[in-house]
Amino acid sequence: MRDLARKLLRRPGPLLGSILLGLFVVGALFGPALAPFDPEAQNLDSILAGPSATHWLGTDENGCDLLSQFLYGCRLSGLIAALVLTISFSLGVLLGTVAGYAGGWVDEVIMRVVDVLLAFPGILLNLAVAAMVKEPGVSHLVFALCLNGWVGFARVARGQVLSAREREHVLAARCLGAGPLRIVSVHILPNILPPLVVQATFTFAAVILAEASLSFLGLGPGQAHSWGALLSQGTTFLWLTYHLALVPGVAIATVVLACNLVGDGLQDLLDPRKSTADLAPRG
Amino acid sequence: MLGEGLSRYLLRRVATSAIALVGVCLLVFFLIHLIPGDPVDNMLGEMAPAAERTRLRKGLHLDEPLSAQLLRFARSMGDGSLGHSFRHVDRSVMSLIAEAFPYTLWLALAAMGIALLLALPLGVASALRPGTWVDGLAMTTSLLGVSIPNMWLGPMLLVAFSIHLAWLPGPAPNDPSAPAALLLPAITLGTALMAMLSRMTRASLLTVMGEDYIRTARAKGLSSWAVVLSHGLRNALIPVITVAGLQFGALLSGAIITEKVFGRPGLGTLLMRAITTRDYPVIQGTVLFLAFLYVLVNLLVDLTYGLVDPRIRRR
């Protein structure tokens, strides 16, 4: 993996993507500490103002500092994406590995559940779940996004396990009396990690987009300054000023672009034939 | 005519789609039970007045046993009504969907048209000049296209073409079906698909152009364009068109955001209005309708793909 990372960072696209993702992580970790103002603090003398020395990204219709809201939104997006990615990755890899290794009816049942969840295009299922709660909180959103977030990991893991379990070193371990748990954890999982990492980068982008889309539609966490909600708010003032819509939109697009650059680069290194395949879907 | 392998593939594909559809119905039925806690508390908040809570519980038949609820749900699907709206008295959910669907369908078709119209030249240009600035430009465009969210692209297009240049109508046009009113929403919705298809066209054409029959066609003395158009593109397009078809269902659901941005009527607007007014039967019905459509369109595309590609037919 370290060798892969070194090769990846030698290419300009993935390097740019990694730098941008690094900035996002810094924003998510230290955003509130870096914010120059309280995101709720109103400056009524400066309403819908453009960028200035005091308010670097301008202010909203209540005179609140947009940069501060943006940085708090960075924390929220990062938190939700990290939670969803961790849960989806763990659940998906677990179920996909079980399906691929066990085969038979276990595989059939898991794959049919995958089929059902894939029958909901885009954010439809997430939206439907979030719509069932009057005021969705972060936990509701994470639940809604995890509900089908694991599916991609399960499919990749299953496919990889199906091919890995027939390799010589796995057969040798089996002949030496290794149990299924040891074979999977020691001989299979470490070898199927790279494609799962590619899947993780695309899923990260998809989660950022899905969260922003739900917030944009008014189904995000109520009081928080999510990028989607900021964008939605910004679009209502398009006729007066467009910097309110510009900032969160550029931020969302940049993070998704960064994930695509890194994911594309990784995929190129692992399997050049597939380099044009699964880019993160847009919201 | 169909090989045994293909027949088995088709049968399996139909069977898995049927299972998926049953699963979709069950998942949509259990949607209100998915979130931990009392569904009525979740939907109205714990501070809601008792009368409103009782009304919702009765309206959703949550006071009945689960089996009776499931039977009622199945009956509403069987008679095609998908239940009755809370807000529009005496109107079935299906009648509301039927009213909104044509707007979304037109938008999705227009988006698909724009995506194909832009993706094919971009992909072909890129594949014919791999590694050059043309390729770089085309692939950068597609990378940006797939990364820019339509909830941002739409407003920016409005700023440029409706506010500054005043060339095209703004949000909530009087006639949403007019071509001018359809153009910006279609571009917004179709850009991501365009990006995906142009990359696919490039990859597919690059593979095909390396095949032996292309070399034979060249050796026969055919012009480069004849080789590309009648031998290369014709074969390279099969997977591209298939993916375009498979993405059609996604376009229909993707229209939710585009319709909000442009204030257009359609399934997305119906769904969002139902969410705002807590009209649960309409939420369930619209989600079910979109998921059904997605599964059926995907099945149809898969079956057609199996039938039109002679290489698959012979297998």
Domains of chain B, by residue range, sit at 101-302
Collect all residues of chain A within an 8 Å Cβ-Cβ radius of residue B192: 281-282
Q: Is residue A11 part of a domain?
A: no
Q: Is residue A63 part of a domain?
A: no
Say yes or no: B184 contacts chain A, CB-CB below 8 A: no
Q: What is the mean predicted confidence (pLDDT) over B137-151? A: 90
Q: What is the pLDDT of residue A271?
A: 67
Q: What is the pLDDT of residues B160-188, one digit of tens each?
A: 999 889 898 888 888 888 888 999 999 99
Q: What is the pLDDT of residue A65?
A: 92
Question: Percent of chain B scored above 90 by pLDDT?
Answer: 35
Better pLDDT: A222 or B315: A222
Say yes or no: A143 contacts chain B, CB-CB below 8 A: yes
User: CA B147, CA B219: separation in Å to the nearest integer?
Assistant: 42
Q: Is residue A243 part of a domain?
A: no
Q: What is the pLDDT of residues A250-265, one digit of tens each?
A: 999 999 999 999 988 8
Helices and strands of chain A, counted as H and E runs: 11, 0
Q: What is the pLDDT of residue B233?
A: 84
User: CA B68, CA A40: separation in Å to the nearest integer?
Assistant: 49
Which positions 211-250 of A are in contact with B (Cβ < 8 Å)? Answer: 212-213, 216-219, 228, 231-232, 234-235, 238-239, 242, 245-246, 248-250
Q: What is the CATH number of the domain that holds A194?
A: 1.10.3720.10
Q: What is the pLDDT of residues A113-167, one digit of tens each?
A: 999 999 888 889 999 888 888 788 899 899 999 999 999 999 999 999 998 888 8
Q: What is the pLDDT of residues B71-90, one digit of tens each?
A: 988 898 888 888 888 777 77
Q: Is residue A93 part of a domain?
A: yes
User: CA B126, CA B137: separation in Å to the nearest integer?
Assistant: 8
**Contact at CB, B260 and A219, closer than 8 angstroms:** no
What fold, for B101-302?
MetI-like fold (1.10.3720)
Q: Does ipTM come in above 0.90?
A: no
B241-266 burial by CB neighbour count: b if 16+ within 10 A, else e?
A: bbbbbbbbbbbbbbbbbbbbbbebbb
**Contact at CB, A256 and B152, closer than 8 angstroms:** no
Say yes or no: B24 contacts chain A, CB-CB below 8 A: yes
pLDDT at A281 exceeding the cut of 60: no
Q: Is residue A163 part of a domain?
A: yes
Q: Which two tokens stand for residue A44?
A: 């009524």
Whether the CA torsion B124, B128, B131, B136 is positive or negative: it is: negative
**Contact at CB, A245 and B272, closer than 8 angstroms:** no
Better pLDDT: A92 or B235: A92
Number of domains chain A contains: 1
Collect all residues of chain B within an 8 Å Cβ-Cβ radius of residue A239: 163
Q: Is residue A128 part of a domain?
A: yes
pLDDT category at B50 given cuts 50, 70, 90 is: confident
User: CA A140, CA A132: separation in Å to the nearest integer?
Assistant: 10
Collect all residues of chain B within an 8 Å Cβ-Cβ radius of residue A117: 27
Distances (CA, A) of B112 to A42, B196, B243, B250: 44, 12, 11, 11
Helices and strands of chain B, counted as H and E runs: 16, 0
pLDDT category at B220 given cuts 50, 70, 90 is: confident
Q: What is the mean predicted confidence (pLDDT) over A216-224? A: 81
For an interface test with A, the pick among B41, B141, B147 (most A C-beta atoms closer than 10 Å) comes out as B147
Point out the residue among A242, A246, A282 whose CB comes nearest to the CB of B146. A282
pTM of the model: 0.88
Q: What is the pLDDT of residue B63?
A: 82
pLDDT at A102 exceeding the cut of 70: yes
Q: What is the pLDDT of residues A165-178, one digit of tens each?
A: 888 888 898 898 88
Distances (CA, A) of B47 to A136, A205, B36, B50, B52: 15, 37, 18, 9, 10
**Contact at CB, A124 and B147, closer than 8 angstroms:** no
Q: Is residue A166 part of a domain?
A: yes
Collect all residues of chain A within an 8 Å Cβ-Cβ radius of residue B86: none
Say yes or no: A105 contacts chain B, CB-CB below 8 A: no
User: CA A126, CA B40: separation in Å to the nearest integer?
Assistant: 19
Point out the residue among B43, B196, B250 whose CB comes nearest to the CB of A132. B43
Q: Is residue A176 part of a domain?
A: yes
Torsion of CA B27, B30, B35, B38, to 10 degrees: 180
Q: What is the pLDDT of residue A82?
A: 96
pLDDT category at A273 given cuts 50, 70, 90 is: low
Whether the CA torsion A221, A227, A228, A229 is positive or negative: it is: positive
Q: What is the pLDDT of residue A277?
A: 43
Q: What is the mean predicted confidence (pLDDT) over A96-125? A: 91
Q: How far is B172 from chain A (nearest CA, A)?
A: 13
Domain around A194? 83-208
| Cβ–Cβ pairs < 8 A, chains A and B | 179
